[in-house]
Amino acid sequence: MIQSPRPFRFEFPPSAVAELRQRLALTRWPDELEDEGAAAGLPLAQARALVEYWQGGFDFAAAEARLNRYPQYLIDIDGLDLHYVHIRSPHAHARPLLLTHGWPGSVLEFFEAAPRLTEPERYGGKAEDAFHLVLPSLQGYGGSPPAKKTGMSPRRIGRRQARLMAELGYGRYIVQGGDWGSVVSHYMAVDDVAHVDALHLNLVTIAPPRDLAAAMKDVQPHELARVAAAEKHRREGMGYYRQQSTRPQTLAYALTDSPAGWCAWIGEKYGGWSQEAAVDRDTLLTQVSLYWFTGTIASGLRLYREFSQSLQRKEGPGQVTVPTGFADYPNEIVRMPRAWCERAYPLIHWNEQPRGGHFAALEQPQLFAEDLWAFARKLRAHEAQ
């Protein structure tokens, strides 16, 4: 059962802001080794500077206004609300595009890219490149409240988002995502193939082929470094993933109680996964504040365990059959060789971007939009064949 959408606004109540500032003032700081730097995590000086700014310099009212920039709603699907932003293009012919964010992100990631996608002619594109945008919050993130029982896996989230698109009257649409958004979008392309026209990703994680020696013959010379970097990330950069996919509840006590701990946990990810500090501290702290004030820190972590358990139940992602595009950003945490991606997806578009990292739309909104314009043009040509 689906009920009619209701308007929604993010709110940072003054009393909650005051409590947060008090908690930040009482932070107990750990020591650190003088000669290790960032190898063991976010350095103490960086963490203190970020927390002190959050406490005394950050403009909470401006952050709240920024999050409410576009029309957004809640819709009840089977007794659980789903939050989404809906931005219609002024061009009636615009193609519906569902953009799904990841962790530790939110719908805010797409706000700067949004006008470029809905009115491309103002940013170097053409009117025929326009999209109508639907930006849902992952269940248990931001405006979408958590499920109360297990089972809210990426696949189930995708099915709920497909129902949202049907409710909005979009019979055909494109799905796009990075991080968890790539997983959810993949599932949607498989499960809602009757309505999904195409899939676009800016993160692909593919298990190395079983015959790795043979598979490496298809890797281009300039791609060798990314294979090595992906392996290094699996060895050294997956601690957060293992904890969140096995014991998220234990971690949630610390991060939900300590705003400084939460800020450092997320600050490390934005610092290491984006390129050249492309995400400024006000944007970072807007994301950090969003989770804090909506009470979705624990449920955001929980999605990792839900996904792990779904894989243990042999709920594999399935084979994508719709036309697929991929944008490769140089500072992404895991980058796959093109040949491996071509084995896994029916690629019609591949674009190696000059700049950007894990939070592609947030870091490089113009490049992100231009890539989607190019993908849509190739899709139109493909459909015309």
Residues 6+ apart with CB under 8 A from 364: 278, 329, 353, 355, 356
In a domain, 239, yes or no: yes
Of 101, 186, 200, 358, the active-site residue reads: 358
Q: Model confidence at 214, in pLDDT bands (50, 70, 90)?
A: low
The one-letter amino acid code at 97 reads L
pLDDT, one tens digit per residue, over 309-336 is: 998 988 778 899 999 999 999 999 999 8
Residue 256 is encoded by which pair of tokens? 């939900």
Task: Enter the pTM of the model.
Answer: 0.95
In a domain, 211, yes or no: yes
The pLDDT score that the predictor gives to residue 154 is 97
Residue 90 is encoded by which pair of tokens? 């002024």
d(CA 51, CA 225): 35
The pLDDT score that the predictor gives to residue 345 is 95
Number of domains in the chain: 1
Of 179, 197, 328, 371, the active-site residue reads: 179
Q: Model confidence at 2, in pLDDT bands (50, 70, 90)?
A: low
Q: Model confidence at 81, in pLDDT bands (50, 70, 90)?
A: very high
Percent of the chain with pLDDT over 90: 82
In a domain, 34, yes or no: no
What is the CA angle 112-333-86, rounded to 5? 30
Of 304, 345, 349, 371, the active-site residue reads: 304
Cis preceding-peptide flag for 259 (omega within 30 of 0): no
In a domain, 159, yes or no: yes
The pLDDT score that the predictor gives to residue 211 is 67
Is 123 part of the annotated catalytic residue set? no
Q: Please list the residues that pair with 81 across neighbouring strands.
A: 76
pLDDT, one tens digit per residue, over 57-74 is: 999 999 999 999 999 999
Domain range for residue 356? 6-25+42-384
For the chain, the residue count is: 385
**How far apart, in Å, do the first and last CA atoms of the chain sit?**
39
In a domain, 18, yes or no: yes
Is 187 part of the annotated catalytic residue set? no
The pLDDT score that the predictor gives to residue 251 is 98
What's 47's domain CATH number? 3.40.50.1820
The one-letter amino acid code at 380 reads R
In a domain, 36, yes or no: no
pLDDT, one tens digit per residue, over 257-305 is: 999 999 999 999 999 899 777 899 999 999 999 999 999 999 999 999 9
In a domain, 35, yes or no: no
Query: Burial level of 199, CB count in 10 A (0-12/13-18/19+)?
Result: buried
Is 304 part of the annotated catalytic residue set? yes
In a domain, 33, yes or no: no
